[in-house]
A and B are shown apart, each in its own frame.
Chain A
Amino acid sequence: MENRSPARSNSGRAFSWVPSAREKNRQVARAKIARKRIAIATASSFLVIGALLVGLVTSPGWEVVKKTFFDWNYGLEILDLVVKGLVTNVTLTIVASIVIGIIALGLALARTSKSAAMTPFRILSTVYVDVFRGVPLLLVILLVGFGVPALRLSGVTNSVIVLGTVAVIITYSAYVAEVIRSGILSIHPSQRAAARSLGLSQAQTMRHVVLPQAFKRVVPPLLNDLVALLKDTGLVSILGVTDAVRAAQIQGSRTFNYTPYVIAAILFLLITIPLTRYTDRVLQRSINKQNAQGSA
């Protein structure tokens, strides 16, 4: 069935290879260029970063700033209070992200659906996303946090942490819905055509063909949103929730030393930086897996 040339039997044989004089010269030249680039990068980095540091420590207020923002002994003292606050941020992020994922998927599916019965949901989800993508999160937190208790509804909680979480969920669902929708729309129409021509229904095409590919594409932006979500949970402190930001604020205003803020910032970074690194790796792994499958 396949006409393979006899030359194929040669493939796989290991040829011994000695670089030619020309290639050796090229290797020397490439190494020289590489050394030069490293030298330039090192020199310019020292120059720029050094200048910034010098500018910082020679500024007239540096001594005061050092005392009020970088008092490590004081920082260590209040560390456990800020960490306790951060646990609230993390818990809130985990709970919220699960709910956001479900709501956002529903919104994205409703907006991309073409079925007649879904029309009201399509309209509602479009309006929802337009509104909550356009209102600052802080405002939503204030409106929900102070507005809902004012309604005096029976059976509805007045807990600030719950209301704050709800506000974050409301806003982030709109963001994430748009990310998922863009992933759905990025799948080439020929994939749908192929699925439909096999007899798969709209829903089956979405579930088995479009969504799995769309999710893979939106993993990086979704992880960005997760990092942003963790940071933005700090905003619920405005309702009086004792999260890391609030804990730092309490300590800072008690002693007029702002080291707690720096501590809180460092604690956030300790979570967000590994998280972004990890997501890069997850993405790379899934790409590698698909490319390498069966190559053995």
Chain B
Amino acid sequence: MNVLEVSNLRKTFGDEVVLNDLNLVVPEHTATVLIGASGSGKSTLLRCINLLEQIDDGEIRIDGIEISDPHINEDTVRRKLGMVFQSFNLFPHMTVLENITLAPIRVHRVSKEEAIESAKTLLSRFDLLDKADQYPDRLSGGQQQRVAIIRSIANKPRLLLLDEVTSALDPVLVNEVLSIVRDLKADGMTMVLATHEMGFATQVADEVCFLKDGHILERGTAKEVLESPQLPETKDFLKRVHEAGRL
């Protein structure tokens, strides 16, 4: 069963075409990794799937339901999706626990006790239980991003969108965030990730898509795309990533 189907997607910002004729299928329990230079359209694609951007053509379906239909209730769609941002975007006026339980209580109408209970279970699973009553600005970047991931999975989303979740972190903290994502993948979470961490892409990706100028130029398993790329553009991109020491 396909959780996400994107067909012929087009998105422009003014005269600039950001996504062009983009097609993507993400089956249940799989992870799709989007790679490509900054500005290639990775983040925009994730924001379109989450209805944070309005698309200009094509179609997006979640569990077979067309969410690009203007009549669709955006809130209902987003309830099925989790999104994690590069800049964490935790709510600074709420404690870690309040951040995590806000949506379960207010949106999913879970009882407060139950929400706190399952939030604490998640926190202890990822070694953050001692931070439950702290405010986000007391946490390291890696801890903040882990809380942000927990916050988005507390809603038990059908699909998790991760937008360069380690790009704002220093190298030492990257691994603690990636290990959560690996755990989620092992749990069978369906995911779409934009990342610059190629080694990590190899570990979790069922499919790797190389984006350039708003189009998926090359796609395949991590082995195919990252180890024996076919197109000169992909080779060039990977070479530059390699030179930057990220492979």
A interface residues, Cβ below 8 angstroms from B: 1-3, 190-191, 193-201, 204, 208-209, 212-213, 216, 290-291, 293-295
Contacts and interface: CB of A to CB of B under 8 A. Distances in A.
B221 to A, nearest CB: 27
Q: List 4 A-B pairs, minimum CB-CB distance, nearest first.
A: A194-B89, A294-B134, A198-B103, A199-B79
A191 B89 contact: yes
Interface in B160-180: 172, 175-176, 179
Nearest to B180: A1
A197 B50 contact: yes
A293 B92 CA distance: 12
A199 B83 CA distance: 10
A2 B75 contact: no
A293 B52 contact: no
B227 interface: no
Given A197-B52, A200-B107, A293-B95, 12 more contacts: A193-B52, A193-B89, A194-B83, A196-B75, A197-B152, A198-B151, A198-B155, A200-B106, A213-B91, A294-B131, A294-B135, A295-B138
A282 to B, nearest CB: 16
Given A2-B176, A193-B89, A198-B78, A290 B106 contact: no
Interface residues of B, number: 36
Contacts of B83: 194, 197
Nearest to A291: B137
Contacts, number: 82
Given A204-B107, A294-B134, A197 B102 contact: no
A36 to B, nearest CB: 39
B176 A294 contact: no
B52 A196 contact: yes
B85 A209 contact: no
Contacts of A195: 91
A201 B135 contact: no
Contacts of B127: 1-2
B69 interface: no
Contacts of B21: none
B102 A200 contact: yes
A93 to B, nearest CB: 29
Contact of B102 (A2, A193, A198): A198
A194 B93 contact: no
A194 B85 contact: yes
Contacts of A200: 75, 102-103, 106-107
Contacts of B135: 290-291, 293-294
B6 to A, nearest CB: 18
Nearest to A2: B176
B125 to A, nearest CB: 11
A209 B74 CA distance: 18
Interface string B126-157: 01000101110110000000000001100100
Nearest to A201: B75
Contact of A293 (B81, B103, B134): B134
Given A1-B176, A2-B176, A197-B78, A208 B89 contact: no
